[in-house]
Amino acid sequence: MTQTIVNILLFLLAASFLTGRLLPAKGVRTITASELKKELGKKDVQYVDVRTPMEFRTNHIRGFQNIPLHELKKRAHELSKEKEVIVICQSGMRSTKASKLLKKLGFKHVTNVTGGMNPWM
């Protein structure tokens, strides 16, 4: 009986951890790559690609600036907290983390591109 309770608690803890890592942050808007195509070029929108510089050089969307995820916290001051920030990466995992970080840092309008660059290509 005790082992069953421990197993259930471990399962719930693991499920909670994974859910928190994979789901978008509260207040983060999500769009698909096809929806992004309609939004490109909007005024007062900041487009950020959080992939590595090498990934960015290989293929990127015109208008996006490269701020790698591991540099985002220290370079967030380069972005306006008042303007919308649209974030993309390769598959959507890093941009999800970046979106959560931006919300924690006080950015008001954050949009994550689900699926990242994969469907774009």
Q: In this structure, what CATH number is given to the domain that contains residue 83?
A: 3.40.250.10
**DSSP letter (8 states) at residue 64:** -
Is residue 96 situated within a structural domain?
yes
Is residue 11 situated within a structural domain?
no
Range of the domain at 42: 26-113
Per-residue confidence (pLDDT) for residue 12, from 0 to 100: 63
14-23, 40-49, 71-80, 99-108: segment of lowest average pLDDT? 14-23
Is residue 21 situated within a structural domain?
no
Q: Known catalytic residues?
A: 89
Contact indicator for 32, 39 with CB cutoff of 8 Å: no
Q: How many domains are contained in the chain? A: 1
Over residues 14-61, the pLDDT tens digits come to 665 555 555 556 789 999 988 999 889 888 999 999 999 999 999 999
Q: Two tokens at 53?
A: 């510089």
Is residue 86 situated within a structural domain?
yes
